[in-house]
Structure 1
Amino acid sequence: MIDTDHPAATRVGERVAAQDWGALAAELDEHGHALTGQLLDPEACRDIAALYDDTDRFRSTIDMARYRFGSGQYRYFTHELPDVVRELRKAFYPRLLPVARDWAARLGNPAPWPDSLGEWVKMCHAAGQAKSAQILLRYGPGDWNALHRDVFGDMLFPLQVVIGLDAPGADFTGGEFLMTEQRPRAQSRGSATTLPQGHGLIFTTRDRPVASKRGWSTGPMRHGVSTVRSGRRHTLGLVFHDAS
């Protein structure tokens, strides 16, 4: 299992740093989401997915059908994160921070995020957002996730990451990651992404800046998951603020 000194934890920072961040930032600007290269090997993916049945690692379990979120289940980790999850979050934050600040500047919004993830988390806790928001999701045949925007409180980081833990076409079919963008005075535009095992998808938590005749405007976006047709699909969700 993934704990102290797991080899994946020592490599993950290097793999995140080795991504083409110029290209990823451009993709985020254009579409509001961007697919990374491989971050975790299959063994590490299987180890993280296997944690789902270790209920002591999680603070709560959400049945999506009960809340009309779709069908399937997800669990919020406690603050005692597995090493690989902690290192992924730590490695992504400084790479995503310039994008977050640039988007805020274009929209004329505050950019409260400090250079350090630890300092930002302390700010979240001081504002009453003190619950871990890191998520492990499990979908089976017929499960899906309704299109939505994530809201955990007023302290919000505008980007998050989902990492595929199973192999599409082998471990499951269906289950594409969906995004829709509400465009001004036009029909919404949608996209579907197949998430390869060990790869991450960076996407906007709520919206992105969109160029308009008057400068920049806010482009609201929603995300979800299409119906899983067979097998089992696990994903890891990395959120860069804590929840209220």
Structure 2
Amino acid sequence: MTSIDTAVDHLDWVDIGGQLDVEGWAVLPGLLGPDAVRDLAQQARASGTGWERLEFSDLGCGELRYFDTNFPIPLTALRSALYRRLAVIANRWNETLDVAHRYPTSLDEFLQLNRAAGQTRPQSHLTRLGVEDHLALHQRSDGEQVFPLQLVALLSEPGDDFDGGEFVMTEQRPRMQSRPAVLPLRLGDLAVIATAHRPFKGSRGHYRVNLKHAVSRVRRGQRIGLELSFHDAP
């Protein structure tokens, strides 16, 4: 077992599962570790190639760089270790919603199902947002194989490296106004969030609610972030 597996197993998964059930998100403080944060932030600050500039598109305004074959090894190990634990929660959510589908226990098996469904385009990416940049409300839920949880992380320090740029989630329940939440992310924090839907217990039992996420306008400096998806896009 690797050190990453050990760190993930030592997390309080009862508490994490409870937070995801109630809020649709849970922050895992400092899980990335200082070395991984520093390396990823250096990659993002380098001008380099592969950056896609968003100019007031449906996704907002800023820069994205997708991980293709150059997925960093620490993130590969972390994503696999977290998938193993989160698959248990994902399967419990499906059982709660009376959905027959069950997710396999390992990320490799799940990605094989992705490839069989024609989903081969990676969705995990770095974000680089400067002054006046933002990410609009969105969700990455295209394809037959969609994992209901994903990861986000902050690679800059709020208040020092940038101002603004809060990570925001909204939850839409039937016949109700959207419920917003601002996640309290600090440098190196990782958060598990619902990809698009989660179970919610109403007066007549559980039903599915819709979630989206965004990053508010950066007012000063540069905000570097990370999104890790477990499923690929068609």
SS at match of 1:229: strand
- Counting aligned pairs with the same residue, the percent is 39
Equivalent residues in 2 for 1:38-117 (5 A)? Answer: 38-52=30-44, 53=46, 55=48, 61-65=51-55, 67-117=57-107
Separation of aligned partners in 2, 1:64 and 1:129: 23
Task: Name the Cα RMSD after superposition.
Answer: 1.7
Separation of aligned partners in 2, 1:224 and 1:72: 12
Moved more, 18-27 or 143-152: 143-152
- The answer to whether the Cα contact below 8 Å between 2:123 and 2:232 also exists between their aligned partners in 1 is yes
Structure 2 portions without partners, runs of 5+: none
SS at match of 1:26: helix
Aligned equivalent of 2:180: 190
SS at match of 1:217: strand
Separation of aligned partners in 2, 1:20 and 1:62: 37
Q: Structure 2 residue aligned with 1:24, among 16, 30, 33?
A: 16
Aligned equivalent of 1:15: 7
- The answer to whether the Cα contact below 8 Å between 1:179 and 1:190 also exists between their aligned partners in 2 is yes
Separation of aligned partners in 1, 2:191 and 2:27: 4
Deviation at 1:25, TM superposition (A): 0.6
Structure 1 portions without partners, runs of 5+: 1-9
Aligned residue-pair number: 232
- The answer to whether the Cα contact below 8 Å between 2:200 and 2:207 also exists between their aligned partners in 1 is yes
Q: TM-score w.r.t. structure 1 length?
A: 0.89
Q: TM-score w.r.t. structure 2 length?
A: 0.92
Separation of aligned partners in 2, 1:97 and 1:63: 33
